[in-house]
């Protein structure tokens, strides 16, 4: 039994460039919320692509389908009183807006990080491969990233620690009445 039986479900939609810090913040937030007794699920791009969407590539159509499927799962979990922390590049505004329209209590969190910082953090060398033309349709290099116009929160991981970024999300969740 959850100690927060009155918990209102919500989607915390982390969006930003590859290596911007989406997963790090979502993982830290999930640990804090679970420690406080909240029901939490994590949906992460790399993990979801292993099972739910492994049939998809990285064309615009496939990216849209990936987000469509994730939105469906997010909607089911959130309406059943779970905090769903999604960390997907989700580069296109149209699909993020679609997710917002389908999921009650939707909180878009833009992880605003410079391309240079993302490239420095890239331990897999994806940016370097994309710059060399070895990876096609790579967000931020050969494929666009459409920044959110009115996110509920902007987190600038260039200028703040993981703890400070996570604390900003917790404060905003409280302001919106989720905590």
Three-state secondary structure readout of 62-81: HHHHHHHHHHHHHHHHHCCC
* Distance between CA atoms of residues 109 and 106, nearest Å: 10
d(CA 145, CA 92): 6
Instruction: Please give the pLDDT value at position 81.
Output: 94
The confidence score (pLDDT) of residue 113 equals 93
The answer to whether the CB of 89 falls within 8 A of the CB of 21 is no
In the chain, pLDDT over 90 holds for what percent of residues? 61
87 forms beta bridges with: 14, 44
Residue 13 has pLDDT above 60, yes or no: yes
Q: What percent of the chain has pLDDT over 70?
A: 89
114 is catalytic: no
The pLDDT tens digits of the residues spanning 91-141 come to: 889 989 999 999 989 999 999 999 999 999 998 888 888 888 888 878 878
The CATH fold of domain 17-175: Rossmann fold (3.40.50)
Residues 168, 121: Cα–Cα separation, whole Å: 22
Question: What was the pLDDT predicted at 3?
Answer: 61
Q: Is the pLDDT of residue 24 over 80?
A: yes
Q: 159-165 — which CB contacts under 8 Å span 24+ positions?
A: 162/21, 162/24, 162/25, 162/28, 163/28, 165/21, 165/25
Q: What's the whole-number mean pLDDT along residues 44-65?
A: 70
Q: Single out the catalytic residue among 90, 101, 114, 142.
A: 90
Average pLDDT over residues 20-44: 95
32: left (phi over 0), alpha (psi -120 to 50) or beta: alpha
Where do the structural domains in the chain lie, given as residue ranges? 17-175
Mean of all residue pLDDT scores within the chain = 88
pLDDT digits (tens, 9 = 90+) for 140-176: 787 788 999 999 999 999 999 999 999 999 999 999 9
Tens of pLDDT, residue by residue over 129-142, are 888 888 887 887 87
CB neighbour burial string for 131-152, b if at least 16 within 10 angstroms, e if fewer: eeeebeebbbbebebeebeebb
Question: How many Å is the Cα radius of gyration of the chain?
Answer: 16
Predicted confidence (pLDDT) per residue in 76-86, tens digit: 999 999 999 99
Q: Which helix (H) or strand (E) holds 158?
A: none
pLDDT at 57: 63
* Entry pTM: 0.88
């Amino acid at each position: 039994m959850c100690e927060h039986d009155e918990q209102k479900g919500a989607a915390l939609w982390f969006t930003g460039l590859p290596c911007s810090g989406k997963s790090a913040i979502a993982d830290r937030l999930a640990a804090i919320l679970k420690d406080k007794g909240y029901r939490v699920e994590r949906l992460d791009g790399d993990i979801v692509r292993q099972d739910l969407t492994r049939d998809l590539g990285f064309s615009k159509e496939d990216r849209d389908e990936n987000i469509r499927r994730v939105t469906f799962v997010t909607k089911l979990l959130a309406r059943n009183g779970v905090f769903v922390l999604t960390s997907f590049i989700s580069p296109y505004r149209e699909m993020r807006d679609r997710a917002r329209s389908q999921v009650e209590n939707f909180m878009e969190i833009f992880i605003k990080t410079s391309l240079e910082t993302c490239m420095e953090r890239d331990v897999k060398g994806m940016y370097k491969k994309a710059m060399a033309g070895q990876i096609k349709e790579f967000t931020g290099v050969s494929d666009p990233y459409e920044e959110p116009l009115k996110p509920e929160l902007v987190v600038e991981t260039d200028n703040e620690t993981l703890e400070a970024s996570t604390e900003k999300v917790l404060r905003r969740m409280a302001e919106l009445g989720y905590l």
